[in-house]
């Protein structure tokens, strides 16, 4: 009970702090153009992917410079950072290795997560073409695409991920089926 009470007070204090900051002229509401610029939702079928392109070949150097320190040169992972490659066939094991190649059902989801959350120290700093390129390289490390295969808003949704059919569809009547 005490933890819940502390949490409520912390949330209340943060909310009041934000209101007070705006009342004192600190911060501002975003304008419509700023909202549109950040309103990028990518769906499994590729809806929402922006125009851009990349290959594993163009993503290799970028991956080595911006990703390998955390995820390893071949996507093998590092202490405290996830492996991105390998693990295929391990999902039914007692210690499955959840990677881009073994677990993720859609390449578009990998793209969206990479754009929003990576690199860890500077999320959202990659350009659209850089995201396509580094995702292509991650898929290449998992033997899913070729070194010179171009990924863009049309081809990325067509990439068949090894675990695409490994998830159970949501049978709730209020949830539309997506494939």
The helix (H) or strand (E) run that includes residue 2 is helix 2-23
**Per-residue pLDDT reduced to its tens digit, 40-58:** 789 999 999 999 999 999 9
Q: What is the pTM of this model?
A: 0.77
**Per-residue pLDDT reduced to its tens digit, 95-147:** 999 999 999 999 999 999 999 999 999 999 999 999 999 999 999 999 999 99
DSSP character string of 60-85? HHHHHHHTHHHH-TTS--BTTB---S
Domain map of the chain by residue range?
40-158
Q: Is the dihedral of CA 83, 126, 157, 54 positive or negative?
A: negative
Statement: 40-158 belongs to CATH 2.40.37.10: no
């Amino acid at each position: 009970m005490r933890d819940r009470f502390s949490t409520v007070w912390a949330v209340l204090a943060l909310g009041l702090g934000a209101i007070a900051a705006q009342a004192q002229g600190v911060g501002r509401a975003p304008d419509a153009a700023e909202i549109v610029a950040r309103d990028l939702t990518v769906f499994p079928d590729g809806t929402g992917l922006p125009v851009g392109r990349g290959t594993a070949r163009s993503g290799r150097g970028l991956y080595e410079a911006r990703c390998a320190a955390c995820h390893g040169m071949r996507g093998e992972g590092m202490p405290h950072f996830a492996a991105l490659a390998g693990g295929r066939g391990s999902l039914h094991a007692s210690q499955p290795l959840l990677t881009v190649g073994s677990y993720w059902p859609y390449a578009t989801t990998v793209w969206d997560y990479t754009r929003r959350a990576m690199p860890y120290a500077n999320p959202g700093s990659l350009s659209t073409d850089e995201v396509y390129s580094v995702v292509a390289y991650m898929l290449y490390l998992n033997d899913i695409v070729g070194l010179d295969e171009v990924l863009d808003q049309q081809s990325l949704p067509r990439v068949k991920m090894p675990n695409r059919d490994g998830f159970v569809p949501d049978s709730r009547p209020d949830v539309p089926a997506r494939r």
